Structure 1
Amino acid sequence: MTNASVAVAASPVIEPARAFDLWGDEVRRVCGTLQVIGDRDRFGAGTIATRVFGAMRVSRITADPHAVVRHDRVASNEGGHVYVVTLLNGTARLCQDGTDITVRTGDLVAFDSSRPYTLAMPQPFTMVGVRAPHRSLGMTPQKTSSITAAPWNGKTGVGALASHTFAALGYHLAELDDAAREPLGTTVSGMITTLFAERLCSAVVDPAAARQLLVLRICGYAQEHMGDSALSPAMLARRHNISLRYLQVLFAEQGSSPARWIRDQRLERLRTDLVNPRYDHLTVSAIAERWGLVDASQVSRLFRMKYGVSPREYRRTRGETAGLSPLSPLGRVAPGWR
């Protein structure tokens, strides 16, 4: 395993007020622009361990009581992601979209950082959070309010499976080989899709919820078959017994098209693999073909349009683009972490 794949930061052992300030800096660095609120004179410690699995980013957070607030102006300016959080110990209170939810140990909850929210932990806690791009799930910020209204019970059904999966992933971040990142990313994405599909199923009488559920299922299927060069909008339409035109309408509601979504997901998989030492022996073309991208000249052009550099240039500068810090002992900030 490459320890550089896991980034760990912990508040140093110093006076509480200074420790709280440093903790706030780390929270903002990992999670974006947030107001961090807490008792500066009593805060003792906090640790964040983070690892990327494909398009998913998994973080294990342990800290003393505090709260984080995402304000309206910041949320609209920065955009955001969908977060799914499971509490390993402690409780949390989430306020978003007019709801006020209490989340207990073992349960899960979703929120969207593109809209204002408050997440408060009134006692020492440990949580595992999974951050997912809207597009990877076939969603837009405007479509996620239907899945942020209530927690999932972590003791039964899909909620229990997801809670145990995310907890195990969080506890074993530093033990997983880099080769496991790609398949685990697909597994995590599929688990989130399943959670959201279950939530939307309860609202199938709502036509909008039914369409969103279908999009989730289509995107979940596509994520599992992204390496199949035959994957196409026509294939997805046939697989889900709908017309190609209706498939295009569904994706248009998400602000995209099925062809563009597939292309962007494949380019993202290519980008991830280009900085993975496991594939150093493969050419850029060979890596692209793993994800169904078979036209080398077109791949280079599309990659440059999306990321601003060619695949080869991106690969050469992977030390800068990977941006991952070395594993540090608990209680210290990793060298070069800031």
Structure 2
Amino acid sequence: MTIASVVEVVSTTTADPACRFDQWEDQVKRTCGTLQVLGDRDRFDGGCIMTCSLGDVRVSMISADPHTVIRQEHVASREGGHVYVAAPLQGSTKLSQDGTDVTVETGDVVAFDSSRPYTLCMPERFQMVAVRAPHRSLGLTPQSTQAVTASPWNGKTGVGALAVHTFAALGAHLLELEAAAIEPLGVTINGLITTLFAERLRSAAVDPLAARRLLMLRICSFAKEHLGDCGLSPATLARRYNISLRYLQVLFAEQGTSPAKWIRDERLARLRADLTEPRYDHLTVAALGERWGLVDASQVSRLFRMKYGVTPRDFRRMRNEAVAA
């Protein structure tokens, strides 16, 4: 089974020409949140967004006529914000954030943070792959991303080239992928983003703050790859990175959480993602919890309800009812 059924494709090219820009504006806001969308309504011929969630990571292939999107205010969220990593495959893109203005050429890569004001201008017909990852999964905060935003990676060499080729291939073949690829692909793409950011932070590692952010990226990347290991704990992370448990707690405190809570929240997020998948309906909640290291079945329901407001069984039932409606 391919993931085509979970890929959302929205296009305005077949709509009434007089309504195409309005429809595009609505779709951009629905996909990306509260934004101002500016463009030439009379010349806007259409656009298409193909979007798929790969666990925590969301991949979008976007093609459209020239327009500009603006986020004017800081955005706060209970679950935290997101970082976008974008690769223009056709046409250049102009990004403004944190007092920096850059032009991102075709084939390069750039990051921006959706929780802070930014302007993204596409002055010509374009195609772009945009990958969105939550701050929490990267071990970052909106403040700590300023070291990596609005500063493009060269897409012709090194990890920048690897990212461009990976994103382009992912966007081009999204509809062909097997459903079983969703989880490992999400982990792989998250790891690639981590590698991009680590390269940028490593160059500034003489700065103690940058060094701590780099260490957090590495710790969170390793932890995400081993969530299914019930032995994963703050103590094992501290031993692996040869730091004290106290210093590990300080690192996570800078992100507004603790290592134990971060691990638990990541495991619950994976469980929640599994409960949205019909292909796992034959598995019990306890079995799904065990996949992600939640081995105490008596605690899974309580923790899930504390996090999401409903029990896992009620969450699954509501999903089934929504599909049937």
TM-score bin, normalised by smaller chain? over 0.9
Query: How far apart are residue 3 of structure 1 and its match?
Result: 3.0
Match of 2:265 in 1: 264
Is the counterpart of residue 177 in structure 1 residue 178 in structure 2? yes
Query: How far apart are residue 296 of structure 1 and its match?
Result: 1.1
Which shows bigger deviation, 6-15 or 159-168? 6-15
d(CA) in 1 for partners of 2:145, 2:167: 21
Cα 1:240–1:271 change in 2 (3 A) is same
Cα 1:263–1:9 change in 2 (3 A) is same
String of CA shifts for 1:49-93, please: whole Å, max 9, x gaps: 0000010110000000001000125x3579631100011111000
d(CA) in 2 for partners of 1:212, 1:176: 33
CA contact (8 A) 1:179 1:278 kept: no
Match of 2:225 in 1: 224
CA contact (8 A) 1:16 1:42 kept: no
d(CA) in 1 for partners of 2:76, 2:233: 33
SS, match of residue 150 in structure 1: coil
Match of 1:26 in 2: 27
CA contact (8 A) 1:84 1:130 kept: yes
String of CA shifts for 1:137-170, please: whole Å, max 9, x gaps: 0011111100114101111000111111111111
Cα 1:2–1:184 change in 2 (3 A) is closer
Instruction: Map residues 166-205 of structure 1 onto 2, 5 A cutoff.
Output: 166-205=167-206
Match of 1:112 in 2: 113
d(CA) in 2 for partners of 1:76, 1:196: 22
CA contact (8 A) 1:88 1:126 kept: yes
Cα 1:137–1:148 change in 2 (3 A) is same
CA contact (8 A) 2:96 2:150 kept: no
d(CA) in 2 for partners of 1:149, 1:203: 16
Structure 2 length as normaliser, TM-score? Answer: 0.96
Question: Unaligned stretches of 5+ in structure 2?
Answer: none
Structure 1 length as normaliser, TM-score? Answer: 0.92
d(CA) in 2 for partners of 1:189, 1:196: 11
SS, match of residue 41 in structure 1: coil
Tell me the percent identity. Answer: 68
SS, match of residue 211 in structure 1: helix
Match of 1:63 in 2: 64
Counterpart amino acid of residue 248 in structure 2: L
String of CA shifts for 1:153-201, please: whole Å, max 9, x gaps: 1110001111111111111111111111000000010000000000001
CA contact (8 A) 1:16 1:40 kept: no
Cα 1:98–1:166 change in 2 (3 A) is same
SS, match of residue 62 in structure 2: strand
d(CA) in 2 for partners of 1:39, 1:312: 48
d(CA) in 2 for partners of 1:305, 1:81: 23
Query: How far apart are residue 277 of structure 1 and its match?
Result: 2.2
SS, match of residue 89 in structure 2: strand
Cα 1:2–1:129 change in 2 (3 A) is closer
d(CA) in 1 for partners of 2:31, 2:297: 35
d(CA) in 1 for partners of 2:279, 2:237: 31
String of CA shifts for 1:69-128, please: whole Å, max 9, x gaps: 00125x357963110001111100000000001001111100001100000000000001
CA contact (8 A) 2:13 2:45 kept: no
Counterpart amino acid of residue 261 in structure 1: W
Cα 1:4–1:232 change in 2 (3 A) is same
CA contact (8 A) 1:314 1:321 kept: no
Counterpart amino acid of residue 125 in structure 1: F
Match of 1:302 in 2: 303
Query: How far apart are residue 16 of structure 1 and its match?
Result: 3.6
d(CA) in 1 for partners of 2:321, 2:41: 34
Instruction: Map residues 44-55 of structure 1 onto 2, 5 A cutoff.
Output: 44-55=45-56
d(CA) in 1 for partners of 2:13, 2:321: 26
Is the counterpart of residue 281 in structure 1 residue 278 in structure 2? no
d(CA) in 2 for partners of 1:320, 1:153: 47
Match of 1:121 in 2: 122
Counterpart amino acid of residue 228 in structure 1: D
How many residue pairs are counted as aligned between the two chains? Answer: 323
d(CA) in 2 for partners of 1:313, 1:46: 38
d(CA) in 2 for partners of 1:101, 1:90: 14
d(CA) in 2 for partners of 1:12, 1:38: 16
Counterpart amino acid of residue 304 in structure 1: R
d(CA) in 1 for partners of 2:251, 2:294: 24
d(CA) in 1 for partners of 2:273, 2:321: 13
d(CA) in 1 for partners of 2:276, 2:320: 8
Match of 1:141 in 2: 142
Cα 1:17–1:116 change in 2 (3 A) is farther
d(CA) in 2 for partners of 1:321, 1:267: 21
Cα 1:320–1:151 change in 2 (3 A) is farther
